[in-house]
Amino acid sequence: MWKKKEEKEEEKEEENLLKELCGDDAKLYYFLSDYLYLNPLAGISEKDLDILTEEAGKSGNFRPAVDKAIFEGTQNPQDRARYIKVIQNLALKAINAMEQEKEKVEKEGLTDRAASLGKGIGNHKFMSERTEDIINVASKFYNEELVELGEDARREARGKERQRAKSDESRAVELEKVRREARKKERGKMGRKEKREAEKQDKREELAAEERKGAREEERKEAEREESRIGELEKTEREARKKERRGD
């Protein structure tokens, strides 16, 4: 579950969330810490569950199908009973496949592989016995993750928009500079009267440029204030969800 080393702080928060949801159930926590994803949309296959199940039967690797079934079970509460049966069926098939493989590697003296398969068999037995608890906790965990992923996506979009606005402002400033230089060269070729009129026009242009700069500055400050307001709102909503989970 905790796969992204560059996101240690985020992982710590999600680890705490999972511990909170599991309470004193250490076995459930350690199982789910291996089976849940920080980003289910990126970690779980986009293939249809039936296709993943068929592939698992051929390859003996049931993990992608199990991951998909758990996630879909969390997102379709009205069909939760059906997904519980699906997961239990996948667990049984995985156990049968691993027991056959374990018997084979034991005969070949591959003790490390046999031990790994034994652990996998134990995990799938736990999965079969505690499927409902797994779905219940995974549902709360993934729902919180999806909310925060949505917040992250919107935050990133706003950041890109601010960066575009900053780039636009830089280009506008550079364009104003180019125009001033061009007008300065033109004035050198003018007569006295024309030059006075051009200087007046330049002052008007400079005043207008300052007004535009001030407006862009105010827009940037307002965007920063809005980002701060959104951040505080998201924090408040996270705390409210946390209290709701705890039953406060």
Confidence of residue 178 (pLDDT cuts 50, 70, 90): confident
Q: Check whether 2 has a pLDDT greater than 50.
A: no
Name the more confident of 72 and 2: 72
Predicted pLDDT of residue 5: 43
Closest CA to 139 of 26, 234, 32: 32
Confidence of residue 175 (pLDDT cuts 50, 70, 90): confident
Predicted pLDDT of residue 4: 45
Predicted pLDDT of residue 3: 45
d(CA 245, CA 11): 19
Using one digit for the tens of pLDDT, what is the confidence trace for 23-79? 999 999 999 999 999 899 999 999 999 999 999 999 989 999 999 999 999 999 999
Percent pLDDT > 70 in the chain is 95
Q: What average pLDDT does the chain have? A: 87
d(CA 144, CA 135): 14
Name the more confident of 96 and 162: 96
Predicted pLDDT of residue 13: 74
Give the domain ranges of the chain.
5-141, 146-246
Q: Check whether 92 has a pLDDT greater than 60.
A: yes
Q: Check whether 170 has a pLDDT greater than 90.
A: no
Confidence of residue 104 (pLDDT cuts 50, 70, 90): very high
Predicted pLDDT of residue 176: 80
**63-70, long-range: CB < 8 A, 24+ apart:** 65/90, 66/35, 66/90, 66/91, 66/94, 66/127, 67/35, 67/37, 67/43, 68/44, 70/35, 70/36, 70/134, 70/135, 70/138
Contact 61, 29 (CB under 8 A): no
